[in-house]
């Protein structure tokens, strides 16, 4: 998301900030082609369970005051997605701008590959900024308007599809294919997104909608939806003894 927006608490889930080498990254981080169906272990809803995660990435602190431990990069390009550099206005987006938690990358892959499978003749969906490698501040010093959040691997900017099928960011709300943009929003809602920050212009005209506690209009979002997911939390282990909750 660009500057501004709601903060959301994310419990510290681990320690360390070193990024893994390419040889240790899960295959979905290496720019592989689109797969048929959701990633292994992920249901068709795209709600990523803890059991589907095999890396050591951790979202630390808050989206607007946090770090990312062992993040993985979203692929530069796949059969269903491309990446977009907002400061330069071109594709691809440099790798250092698109690190996320494993859960975020899997969520994006699942939603976007399912969308592509449903619309094989439409343009691929663009993905702009996630977090920096290691997370932390992502303000204007890093290009463009900067972000007040995007600090701990739980945020991603996803371009709205364009009416003209250009694989580029919309220049104005009038360029947006609102039916397809709404479909993407619905898919992210089903995937369990915490927040989806959307175009105020399209929201006021009732062209983009959703649960009001999740789909929220916010300035500087006329060309993309800002997706924020919940951090991964391992299932609680059963407590031994008679008092179990």
Domains of the chain, first to last: 22-32+41-228 (3.30.1380.10)
**How much is the pLDDT for 149?**
95
Task: Identify which of 185, 244, 190 has the alpha carbon closest to the alpha carbon of residue 217.
Answer: 185
Supply the pLDDT for residue 37: 72
Distance from C-alpha of 192 to C-alpha of 162, rounded to nearest angstrom:
25
- Output the pTM of the full model: 0.83
Between CA 243 and CA 245 the distance in angstroms is 6
Supply the pLDDT for residue 98: 98
Does residue 75 come out as left (phi exceeding 0), alpha (psi in the -120 to 50 range) or beta? beta
pLDDT tens, N- to C-terminus, the chain (245 residues): 443 333 322 222 222 323 333 333 444 444 445 455 788 999 999 999 999 999 899 999 999 999 999 999 999 999 999 999 999 999 999 999 999 999 999 999 999 999 999 999 999 999 999 999 999 999 899 998 889 999 999 999 999 999 999 999 999 999 999 999 999 999 999 999 999 999 999 999 999 999 999 999 999 999 999 999 999 986 655 443 333 33
Rounded to the nearest 5 degrees, what angle is found at the Cα of 55, between the Cα atoms of 53 and 60?
95
């Amino acid at each position: 998301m660009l500057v501004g927006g709601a903060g959301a608490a994310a419990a510290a889930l681990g320690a360390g900030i070193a990024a893994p080498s390419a040889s240790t990254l899960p295959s979905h981080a290496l720019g592989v082609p689109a797969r048929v169906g959701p990633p292994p272990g992920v249901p068709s809803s795209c709600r990523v369970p803890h059991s589907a995660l095999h890396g050591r990435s951790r979202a630390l602190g808050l989206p607007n005051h946090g770090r990312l431990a062992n993040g993985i990069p979203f692929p530069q390009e796949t059969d269903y997605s491309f990446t977009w550099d907002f400061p330069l206005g071109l594709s691809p987006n440099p790798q250092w701008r698109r690190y996320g938690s494993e859960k975020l990358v899997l969520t994006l892959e699942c939603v976007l590959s399912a969308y592509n499978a449903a619309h094989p003749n439409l343009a691929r969906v663009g993905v702009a900024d996630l977090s920096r490698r290691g997370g932390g501040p992502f303000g204007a010093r890093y290009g463009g308007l900067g972000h007040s959040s995007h600090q701990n691997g739980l945020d991603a900017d996803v371009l709205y599809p364009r009416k003209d099928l250009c694989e580029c960011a919309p220049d104005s709300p009038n360029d947006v294919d609102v039916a397809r943009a709404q479909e993407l929003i619905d898919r992210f809602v089903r995937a369990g997104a915490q927040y989806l920050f959307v175009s105020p212009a399209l929201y006021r005209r009732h062209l983009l909608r959703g649960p009001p506690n999740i789909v929220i209009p916010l300035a500087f979002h006329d060309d993309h939806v800002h997706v924020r997911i919940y951090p991964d939390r391992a299932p609680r282990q059963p407590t031994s003894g008679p008092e179990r909750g």
